[in-house]
Chain A
Amino acid sequence: MPDGLPNDGLVIVAKRDCPTCVLIEPVMQSLDRAGPLAVISQDDPTFPAGVGQVIDDHDLERSFRFNIEAVPTLIRLKGGREVERTVGWDRAEWTRLAGAAASGDGLPAWQPGCGSKSVEPGVHETLVARYGDTGLKARAIAVGEWDDPIEACFERGWSDGLPVVPPTDDRILRMLGGTERKPDEVVGNIPPNLAPCTVEKVAINAVMAGCKPEYMPVVLGVLEAALDPLFVLHGLLCTTHFSGPLVIINGPAAKAIGMNSGVNALGQGNRANATIGRALQLIVRNVGGGLPGGMDRATLGNPGKYTFCFAEDESDPDWEPLAQRRGIAAGKSAVTLFHGEGVNGFIDQKSRTPEELIRSLAMGLFGVGHPKLCLAGNAVLVLAPEHYKIFKDGGFNRRRIEDELYKALKRPGSELIRGAQNIAEGMPPSFADKMVDKFQPDGLLIVRAGGEAGLFSAIIGGWPGQSVRDECQSVTHEIR
């Protein structure tokens, strides 16, 4: 055979790093004397010693083409084609396949082999990208040998302004390995261009965002939730308002991929938090064509439009997590998407009873959007542990906190109508004789997160689009 393999004879794939391969070095020498034999050596072309035809397979191409999963693997070729193989060391199998020269006198009768270098984590996908059929359908973009691939991504407009990970075939294949869904499955049509988005396109953008493959089920779940018509992703993208998608993850998936719900949960530093939110935004940008200054008409935007994603702290069994509150069964993973405008820090270091803290929080929540505007946008209240402890110690669970805040967030319309308090902004005059709720029913989402120290909470204001409750709401979806 042109590549050094015998047309009719034996091939052994081995590596020096495998004790079983080292153990059977005398067997390989014996088979070489009986011939013809070629040994494909994965990690050291001087191993095995005393064999005439050792093929250096540092690049693992031959191991890949033989589909080797473990070493040593003994293969019999006939007419240049494989007719039989055995894996590991098993005297009975080796002598049956290769004759008495493979008896290995003095060796144990059996010893398992080691994993092939060609199937080590991440390696297989690289080999498929180099030597196999990737099956990828997305258009290939060539980058010159003197070009920086990260700069090439910037030049093509694929970035949100921060460097992206260049989407190479091996990275995309690894990312696709994080889901059982088929690469050509269409997840949905991405606004504003309503372009169909396949799982493969999701994987490409997830690579660019910096995701790990195990994030893929969450990224796909986030995207599906974002495409729920009730979330109105198109409108959120087009708005002049500050808002962008805020992603809250509940359930075992958050823990499995190491999401942060503790110290600095709304800040930087956690890969899953950072990249899952970013992946969604890159998909909207790249697949949907939603570009700032194009369809994205935000007057100011907010930093969360790079990424805004965190997990809820579910460590207290007395606390009903947000996803369960919104109808997801306990033990399931879920994503909640909210139209968030950014974090407003809320400080109260003096309240000691739930009643005091409810009144104080309500005062802060009235400020969402504008203190005189009601039913014009909802909010997320992120309770940090020390504020939550006040409620818990006072016997307030989630439902009680929600009920008490709902009551505390009513105000006389006479104080809110346009012109009242000598401020032009406000509610229409028709509200003058009513008690007015600040938020829509179920419009205040309460979630627990944050570090142990700090009598703080965070208020994340919503989007005025939420005022049309039948058409636009937060959504919660189970992650499949």
Chain B
Amino acid sequence: MNIALKLRDPTAETSPTRRARLAPPPSVAGKSVALMDIGKARGSEFIDRLEGHFKKAGVATRRYRKPTNTKVAPTDLLQKIAAENQLAVIALSD
């Protein structure tokens, strides 16, 4: 990251500066998983394989696709994913 600006921490500095990643859920049972194809080559193959695994495990999935792989996903798509699912997998490729 090229640093453009330095801010000073207004907090009591009791937590790390890098935010911890969300902990993975203890179980996917009963949850709906969004499978997001970001539109890059062969990403859909990866999503297909995942979908098969989830199906076998009895986990509901919903598929989504970015309109273009060159730009970030539109807000309404992200809101739709968040409204309809509890978990999301974003396919990478290359």
Which residues does A use to contact B, with CB under 8 Å?
Answer: 136, 138-147, 149, 152-153, 156, 158, 166-169, 172, 190, 193, 195-197, 201, 204-205, 208, 282, 286-289
Contacts and interface: CB of A to CB of B under 8 A. Distances in A.
B10 A208 contact: yes
A338 to B, nearest CB: 26
A6 B13 CA distance: 47
Given A195-B14, A287-B10, 11 more contacts: A138-B10, A139-B13, A140-B8, A141-B6, A142-B3, A143-B4, A158-B11, A169-B6, A286-B12, A287-B11, A289-B14
A195 to B, nearest CB: 3
A166 B7 contact: yes
Contact of B6 (A142, A146, A201, A286): A142
Nearest to B9: A139
Contacts of A197: 12
B13 to A, nearest CB: 5
> Mostly helix, strand, loop or mixed at chain A's interface?
mixed
A158 B4 contact: no
B1 interface: yes
Between B1, B8, B11, B19, the greatest number of chain A beta carbons within 10 A of the residue's beta carbon is seen for B8
A140 B10 contact: no
Interface string B1-36: 111111111111110010100000000000000000
Contacts of A142: 1, 3, 5-6
A169 B8 CA distance: 7
Interface string B61-85: 0000000000000000000000000
Between A141, A143, A145, the greatest number of chain B beta carbons within 10 A of the residue's beta carbon is seen for A141
Contacts of B3: 142-145
16 contacts: A136-B8, A138-B9, A139-B9, A142-B3, A142-B6, A144-B3, A146-B2, A149-B5, A149-B7, A152-B7, A167-B8, A167-B10, A168-B6, A193-B12, A201-B10, A286-B12
A143 B12 contact: no
Contacts of A152: 7
B75 to A, nearest CB: 14
A141 to B, nearest CB: 5
Contacts, number: 82
A146 B11 CA distance: 24
B5 A143 contact: yes
Contact of B8 (A195, A204, A287): A204
Nearest to A129: B6
B7 A147 contact: no
A288 B12 CA distance: 7
A190 B12 CA distance: 9
Between B3, B7, B11, B19, the greatest number of chain A beta carbons within 10 A of the residue's beta carbon is seen for B7
Contacts of B11: 158, 286-287, 289
Contacts of A147: 4
Given A139-B17, A193-B14, A168 B4 contact: no
B6 A195 contact: no
B4 A138 contact: no
Contacts of B8: 136, 138-141, 167-169, 172, 204
Contact of A205 (B4, B5, B10): B10
Contact of B17 (A141, A190, A208, A289): A141
A388 B1 CA distance: 61
A474 B2 CA distance: 49
Q: Which 3 A-B pairs have the closest CB atoms?
A: A195-B12, A145-B4, A139-B9
Between B1, B3, B6, B19, the greatest number of chain A beta carbons within 10 A of the residue's beta carbon is seen for B6
Nearest to B5: A143
A289 B10 contact: no
A196 B12 CA distance: 7
A208 B3 CA distance: 20
A204 B14 CA distance: 16
A193 B13 CA distance: 12
Contacts of B9: 138-141, 204
Contacts of A282: 10
Given A193-B12, A193-B14, A145 B2 contact: yes
Contacts of B12: 190, 193, 195-197, 201, 286-289
